[in-house]
Amino acid sequence: MKSLMFVVAFLSAVLASEFLHPLSDEFIEQINAQQSTWKAGRNFEIEDYELVKILASGSKGIRNREVLAFNVDAVSDDIPESFDAREAWPNCADVIGLIRDQSQCSASWAFAAAETMSDRICIHSNATKKILVSSQDVLTCSFIFGCEGGNIDYPWSQWNQFGYVSGGLYNNTSQGCKSYFLPSCDGQPSNCSGSVRTPSCVQQCDDNSLNYNSQYTYGQRIQGFSSESRIQQEILTNGPVEGSFNVFQDFVSYQSGIYQYVNGSHVGEHAVKILGWGVENSVKYWLVANSWNEKWGENGYFRILRGTNECNIESDAVVALPDFNRFFKLHIFSTIFFVKMKSLAVACLFVTVSAVFAGKLLHPLSDEFIDQINAKQSTWTAGKNFEIEDYELVKVLASGSKGIRNREALKFNVHDDSDDVPESFDSREAWPECADVIGLIRDQSRCGACWAFAAAEAMSDRICIHSNATRKTLVSSQDILTCTLSYGCDGGSIDAPWSLWYEKGYVTGGLYNNTSQGCQSYFLPNCEDHPNKCTNYVNTPSCVEQCDDTSVVYSAQKTYGLEAYSVSRAKQIQLEILKNGPVETAFDVYQDFVSYKSGIYQYTAGDLEGGHAVKIIGWGVENGVKYWLIANSWNERWGENGYFRMLRGTDECGIESFVAAGLPDFTKF
């Protein structure tokens, strides 16, 4: 009885957080009560929340993985327990230790790049060149990116191709050619109210007496790093790196200590500079420079949990080395290029430039973009699933997952890693009497409801599996969509349905207008193979506690979960599916994915579109390439009869980072 009371109290607290403003004193107190490695405090007032969203959403992740040489060299055993680039290169400490302020512009992608470039120029010149790379030049002259965010790899490719001029803080002409256009917030968010437009790319120094073309710096050998040890090795050898991580609502109230996610929704992705690491009270951390001024956090810095890929901090780090042979040389080509680009009078560009930026100039649903995908890899085939005029629908389909909201509400289920896992597995074959349930492909239509669909599908599968096929009950995606807190067609977190399956349950129900499949059927018809049937945005229907057939008692149609939990890492996910059935997960969707036709998907080209939730039902190997077998919710005519396969074992697009699941509680059905 006591344990039940504890669970109820705990879940009540978790659900209560849904209604706390993320900048409120109560939310901050809740953060501090739930962990002990870091301290939260007031950095922003409630009325500053729009600024918070700007600050925390400046990174769009990696755009062109194919141009990055991801370092896979062996890692030295001589990595020290702690390291700080400011101490390792003391003659560059003033450059490395400079905290900038992006102000009310989502410019973290540009700031982290400019800061890291500046550090590496100093380090690799033995402190003979203390040059600040201009965050203003990176921000305004990196093509279409600006104050609405940008990809973290793009500045490094640009540094290599075209270079960036010198420049530092707001209104400081002594620090180089182009200073930043916005004043510091100076620890007062009210100084940074309102959004701003990105200034034009102006090829002129603030001081007209300086020759703009003579102020260029250049990079070479752009590389990507993924994993704790490789990032450490790179910092140890060459200096700080630019990284990116997922920002949740609790992070903005960080004041000191070693941050790890505690509570709150996903706000955005943020780029930062990682300059070292250490250990405190046996907790490993990264030392990271933020760009929210020196009055935030630990004098402008923060520390974050290391070695667990906390908030994806270890997934992608990007850097290059300075190319001193090209510094401060006349830059006529770049001037011509940008003048043409900005005036749109691009009658003819050099072939080499067209090749570099071909992906940028192609519509992601065009035949040319699809051809480019197929030319760059051989594990999967792209083809036309949508017409160019369907792009708004694509954005809806690809952005229904908001990741994880309440990690603390889900226990982590850990299986014995020594257990054997077969080379291939398909839940439809493992539980043949449930194959009709597991194999049902649903269609979310023009609603960002993947988070609800993947949950409903996996719950239905597990009811059948754990009842030995005596209960072939479809859980209603409609009930999950409309009655799960404030979520709906604008997306939702994948953990919320599993927590609420235990707390309040969900009724039965299946496909559109099919009352024979349960209490509540889905409210939208199948898109079939005609996306134009799925035009126009739809509002989420209200939560109605009534079955489509009013003669059926709503409360009698409830299903419940026994417990909600999470699994991560490839083998743990395999063991979970092997023992309990399909699971729900989410991954990052890039523009190439929507044109998937067949094969084993891995990222090839295009921008990040959003997060998408799906159901993993198995795995296998084809031509030596390991894959996951996954059910999508875009109808049977998409992909491999509604399914797709994705690279396994490398956390491709974050597919292995966080899986949500639960078991049915038949005693409450």
Q: How far apart are CA 271 and CA 108, in angstroms?
A: 5
Domain count within the chain = 2
Distances (CA, A) of 306 to 116, 131, 512, 551: 20, 30, 46, 56
Q: How many CB atoms lie under 10 A from the CB of residue 529?
A: 11
Which of 322, 350, 365 terminates a domain? The answer is 322
Whether the CB-CB separation of 201 and 149 falls below 8 Å is answered with: no
Q: What is the pLDDT of residue 391?
A: 85
> Are the beta carbons of 285 and 265 closer than 8 angstroms?
no
Q: What is d(CA 149, CA 153) in angstroms, rounded to the nearest whole number?
A: 12
Report in angstroms the alpha-carbon separations of 223 from 293, 314, 352, 490: 28, 14, 21, 36
Q: Which of 292, 322, 352 is the last residue of a domain?
A: 322
- More confidently predicted of 5 and 462: 462
Q: pLDDT > 70: what percent of the chain?
A: 86
Q: What pLDDT, in 10s, does the model give residues 347-363?
A: 222 333 333 333 345 88
Is 387 among the domain residues? Answer: no
Residues 308, 434 within the same domain: no
Residue 266, domain member (yes or no)? yes
- Considering only the C-alpha atoms of the chain, give the largest distance between any 2 of them, rounded to a whole number of Å: 83
Catalytic residues: 450, 612, 632
Give the span between the Cα atoms of 370 and 363, in whole angstroms: 9
How confident is the model over 82-92, as pLDDT tens digits? Answer: 999 999 999 99
Query: Same structural domain for residues 424 and 309?
Result: no
Element holding 250 (H helix, E strand): none
CB atoms within 10 A of CB 203: 19
Residues 507 and 605 in one domain: yes
Stretch among 351-355, 370-374, 479-483, 594-598 having the lowest mean pLDDT: 351-355
Which of 267, 295, 322 is the last residue in one of the domains? 322
Q: Which residues pair with 558 in a beta bridge?
A: 507
Calculate mean pLDDT across residues 597-617. Answer: 91
In this predicted structure, the answer to whether residue 332 has a pLDDT above a threshold of 60 is: no
Tens-place pLDDT, residues 134-168 = 999 999 988 667 888 888 988 998 898 889 999 99
DSSP 400-451: -B---S-GGGSEEP---TTS---S-EEHHHHSGGGHHHHT---B-TTS--HH
Share of the chain above pLDDT 90, in %: 58
| 408 pLDDT higher than 60 | no
Judgement on whether residues 296 and 414 belong to the same structural domain of the protein:
no
Phi, psi of 524 (to 5 degrees): -120, 145
How high does pLDDT run on average in the chain?
86
Query: Of the ranges 349-363, 406-420, 469-483, which one carries the lowest mean pLDDT score?
Result: 349-363
Tokens of 138: 């990176």
Q: Quote the pTM value.
A: 0.57
2 pLDDT band (50/70/90 cuts)? very low
CA distance 601 to 580: 26
Is 13 strand, coil or helix?
A: helix
**Do 272 and 421 share a domain, yes or no?**
no
Asked whether residue 572 is assigned to any structural domain, the reply reads: yes
CA distance 389 to 534: 12
Do 403 and 297 sit in the same domain of this protein? no
> Same domain, yes or no, for 313 and 397?
no
* Domain that includes residue 289, residue range: 38-322
The answer on 217 and 84 residing in a single domain is yes
Question: How would residue 407 be classed by pLDDT, with cut points 50, 70 and 90?
Answer: low
370 lies in some domain? no
Residue 96 lies in a domain: yes
Residues 564, 663: Cα–Cα separation, whole Å: 7
Task: Give the three-class secondary structure for 96.
Answer: helix
pLDDT digits (tens, 9 = 90+) for 196-244: 888 988 889 999 888 888 899 999 888 888 889 999 999 999 999 999 9
How many whole angstroms separate alpha carbon 291 and alpha carbon 403? 25
57 confidence band (pLDDT: 50, 70, 90):
confident
Helices 154-161, 108-124: crossing angle, 10 deg rounding: 50
Tell me which of 35-44, 67-76, 155-164, 420-429 is least confident: 67-76
Domain containing residue 119: CATH number: 3.90.70.10
pLDDT at residue 180, rounded to an integer? 94
Task: Judge contact between 133 and 122, C-beta under 8 A.
Answer: no
Position 374 in a domain: no
Residue 364 belongs to some domain of the structure? no
Whether 613 and 479 share a structural domain = yes
Residue of higher predicted confidence among 14 and 66: 66
Q: Alpha-carbon distance 612 to 632, whole Å?
A: 9
3-state secondary structure of 286: strand
| Predicted confidence (pLDDT) at residue 185 exceeds the cutoff of 80 | no
The answer to whether position 328 is within a domain reads no
Specify burial of residue 561 (Cβ count, 10 A radius: 0-12, 13-18, 19+): buried
Decide if 78 contacts 120 (C-beta within 8 A): no
State whether 146 and 233 are in the same domain: yes
Same domain for 218 and 87?
yes
For range 627-648, the mean pLDDT: 97
CA angle 527, 532, 534 (to 5 degrees): 45
Chain CA centroid to CA 452, Å: 19
The DSSP bridge pattern shows strands 659-664 and 583-590 to be: antiparallel
Q: Are residues 445 and 583 in the same domain?
A: yes
